[in-house]
């Protein structure tokens, strides 16, 4: 009887291991499929449009920054306009393609519509629905769950501290996109196409995730593929009181929370990135800027009929 019991136990363990391996294999296949889809979307954009330069809009919200690239006359005074003028030249910018990343499903219908309209107007635009991260996977994304919060849910975030600060009442699972992978794919297409390589400009407004994503870009040797990066830093999501409250919720004593040190690291990181990436480096052309262009938040501008004629042929 004892021997039979031992055999049954071994069989159960083998069955459990086999099930776990099948689950892992399925998950790996799903993630590989997602990455393949992202690669194909970037490749197809370059194949269909005359992409000499690229604007990477990380944290697109409802896509207003992308519209500013192609329709600057409608957004007079926006802080991003001089950046686009310097790196992309004067409008119409038919040689500029834009790729946006936005995790908030509330904006998907608007972004899909905007992508279709801008493509019909002759410019290459693609929006990924997902959160910029350090790997391909799934993240929990928090919002206010209100029909409108007056700010287009611009405080939506995957950070626990941001969710606490913003009093998020609704969470949903969203895809995480490896931002380094996407940047490398863009760069590969830029180098294999029009010569010389054009400029890659990136905007980041990801509600505190920049403190996680930017080091990933540095240590994956990816950040220096970006020519100009303007970012809103969300140090407010790493304030001592927020971090202490999160620690208590996890059963961690204040003396072990690391709240003071983490807040100081966040402050120092912002200062260090803006100082180090100043444009004078010998091995990295990337220029960081703290430009924060929140103008025309609700857009409200009439959609274009035509911007570039025959540019996507």
Digitized pLDDT (tens) for each residue of the chain, 313 residues in all: 555 666 666 566 666 566 556 655 555 555 567 788 899 999 999 999 989 999 999 999 999 999 999 999 999 999 999 999 999 999 999 999 999 999 999 999 999 999 999 999 999 999 999 999 999 998 888 776 554 555 455 556 555 555 554 555 677 889 999 999 999 999 999 999 767 999 999 999 998 999 999 999 999 999 999 999 999 999 988 899 888 888 888 898 888 999 999 999 999 999 999 999 987 778 999 999 999 999 999 999 999 999 997 654 3
Q: Are strands 53-58 and 96-102 parallel, antiparallel or unpaired?
A: parallel
- β-partners of residue 102 are 129
For the entire predicted model, the pTM comes to 0.85
Identify whether the C-beta of residue 234 lies closer than 8 Å to the C-beta of residue 263. Answer: no
| Nearest residue to 205 via CA among 140, 292, 284 | 292
What is the pLDDT at residue 279? 75
Cα separation, 171 vs 134, whole angstroms: 20
Hey, which residues does 101 pair with through a beta bridge?
Answer: 58, 128
**pLDDT number for residue 139:** 86
- Amino acid 310: pLDDT: 62
- pLDDT, residue 313, reads 39
Is the CB of residue 95 less than 8 Å from the CB of residue 200? no
Chain-centre distance for alpha carbon 4: 55
Count each helix (H run) and each strand (E run) in the chain, helices first: 9, 9
């Amino acid at each position: 009887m004892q021997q039979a019991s031992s055999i049954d136990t071994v069989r159960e363990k083998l069955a459990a291991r086999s099930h776990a391996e099948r689950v892992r294999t399925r998950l790996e296949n799903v993630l590989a499929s997602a990455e393949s889809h992202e690669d194909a979307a970037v490749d197809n954009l370059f194949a269909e449009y005359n992409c000499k330069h690229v604007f990477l809009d990380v944290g697109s919200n409802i896509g207003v920054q992308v519209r500013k690239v192609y329709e600057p006359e409608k957004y007079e005074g926006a802080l991003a306009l001089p950046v686009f003028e310097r790196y992309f030249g004067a409008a119409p910018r038919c040689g500029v393609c834009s790729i946006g990343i936005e995790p908030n499903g509330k904006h998907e219908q608007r972004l899909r519509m905007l992508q279709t309209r801008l493509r019909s107007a002759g410019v290459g635009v693609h929006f990924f629905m997902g959160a910029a991260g350090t790997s391909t996977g799934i993240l929990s994304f928090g919002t206010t769950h209100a029909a409108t919060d007056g700010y287009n849910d611009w405080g939506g975030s995957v950070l626990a501290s941001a969710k606490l600060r913003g009093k998020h009442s609704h969470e949903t699972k969203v895809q995480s996109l490896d931002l380094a992978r996407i940047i490398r794919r863009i760069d590969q297409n830029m180098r294999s196409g029009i010569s010389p390589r054009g400029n890659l400009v990136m905007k980041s407004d990801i509600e505190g995730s920049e403190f996680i994503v930017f080091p990933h870009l540095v240590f994956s040797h990816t950040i220096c593929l970006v020519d100009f990066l303007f970012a809103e830093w969300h140090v407010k999501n790493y304030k001592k009181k927020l971090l202490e409250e999160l620690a208590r919720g996890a059963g961690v004593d204040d003396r072990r929370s690391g709240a003071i040190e983490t807040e100081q690291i966040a402050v120092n990181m912002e200062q260090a990135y803006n100082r180090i990436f100043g444009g004078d480096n010998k091995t990295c052309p990337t220029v960081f800027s703290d430009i924060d262009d929140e103008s025309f938040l609700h857009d409200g501008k009439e959609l274009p009929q035509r911007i570039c004629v025959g540019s996507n042929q």
